[in-house]
Amino acid sequence: MNIKASRKRFKPLPYILIFPTAVFVALFTAWPVILSIYQSFFLQRMNIARFREPTFIGWGNYIDLFSDPYFIQVIKNTLLYIIGTVPISIVLGFLFALLVNRKVRGIGFFRLAVFHPMVLPMVSAATIWLFLFTPDYGLFNAALRFLGYSGPENWTGNPSLALLSVVIVAVWKNSGYYMVFYLAGLQNLPSDVYEAAALDGANGWQTLWKITFPLLRRTTIFITIVAFIDSFRTVDHIFVLTSGGPSRASTVLLFDLWLERFEYQDIGISAAITVVFVIVLLAFTVTNFITSERKEV
């Protein structure tokens, strides 16, 4: 009886400890999301006097969005951008980690070389790439020509290459960052497993595929989430390289959100885009964790 009673006694300490975080999350995370959901059901445009006060229009904003070919194109661009950046930069990060995880003299230099793009602010990185991409004297084209490339060279101005050029910059910038996580993971792997594998006569490929990769699964999950979210929220280089063009060929979801809210001053539509955003990211993260936790058992 005594024990039960003491268990039920209210302990305020945990609540006090969590209080600041809870307030912070409620204020800066939950509240804006709730507000966006609310606003997404209203017609409100700041630059038209008679639409400045919000009017309830139900699903109107969502219907407008998904019947607008531009928005469909933006969704397509976003998907292509994610497919282009996430897997490639993770695979590259993994390969770089394997390459620089050796005891060779001067390896620090190579680690630094792969990692340094991450230290640059995105805007500086994009500005450097502006010069690399120039059609007449750009180094990027010169390098490609050296490798036998003879295709179009106007990377940022060509509608079928503009999205690819922002993908290239993102991959260049991010893979070094992911490499660091993989490198940390690799260096924490237990050596006895490798010894056992060597005794059993496993070749390099088997060791990599059956031991290293599975052991790094947690790292991979973490990097996937970071990479996925990052691919949604990085637009700085798009501002610098293409301004979302030509003809919106490189406009992704967040860039479009900025356009609608601050260029077109359309609060309802931008709230609806925010809601789409939240749903996609939440769905991704929750799925990712549910599936990964299940395998753990």
Which residues are near other proteins by CB under 8 A? 25, 28-30, 32-33, 36, 46-49, 51-52, 127, 130-131, 133-137, 142, 145, 152-154, 156-159, 225, 229, 232-233, 235, 240-243, 245-248, 254, 257-259, 262-265, 274, 277-278, 281-282, 284-286, 288-290, 293, 296
Considering beta carbons, is residue 209 or 289 the nearer one to other proteins? 289
41 vs 133, beta carbon nearer other proteins = 133
Whole-number minimum distance, CB 51 to other proteins, in Å? 8
Contact (CB, 8 A) for 110 and 96: no
Please name the residue ranges forming H helices in 188-216: 191-199, 204-206, 213-215
Choose between 212 and 242: whose C-beta lies nearer to other proteins. Answer: 242
Distances (CA, A) of 151 to 155, 163, 164, 241: 10, 16, 14, 20
Do the beta carbons of residue 40 and residue 61 sit within 8 Å? Answer: yes
Looking at the Cβ atoms of 95 and 286, the one nearer to other proteins is 286
Would you say 118 or 225 has its CB closer to other proteins? Answer: 225
Which residue's entry shows tokens 């390896």?
107
Residue whose pair of structure tokens reads 């996925």 in the numeric block: 228
Q: How far is the CB of 66 from other proteins (least distance, A)?
A: 19
- Closer CB to other proteins, residue 128 or residue 202? 128
Q: Which residues pair with 42 in a beta bridge?
A: 56
The DSSP code for 105 is T
Query: Closer CB to other proteins, residue 71 or residue 258?
Result: 258
Is the separation of the CB atoms in 118 and 177 below 8 Å?
A: yes
How many angstroms separate the Cα of 44 from the Cα of each of 71, 87, 140, 188, 288? Answer: 19, 39, 45, 54, 36
Compute the least distance from the CB of residue 22 to other proteins, in Å: 11
Minimum distance from CB of 205 to other proteins (Å)?
32
Whether 155 and 140 have beta carbons less than 8 Å apart is answered as yes
Smallest CA-to-CA distance from 227 within 84, 129, 117 is with 84
Q: Minimum distance from CB of 272 to other proteins (Å)? A: 13
Residue 177 CB, shortest distance to other proteins, in Å, is 15
CB of 183 to other proteins, least distance (A): 22
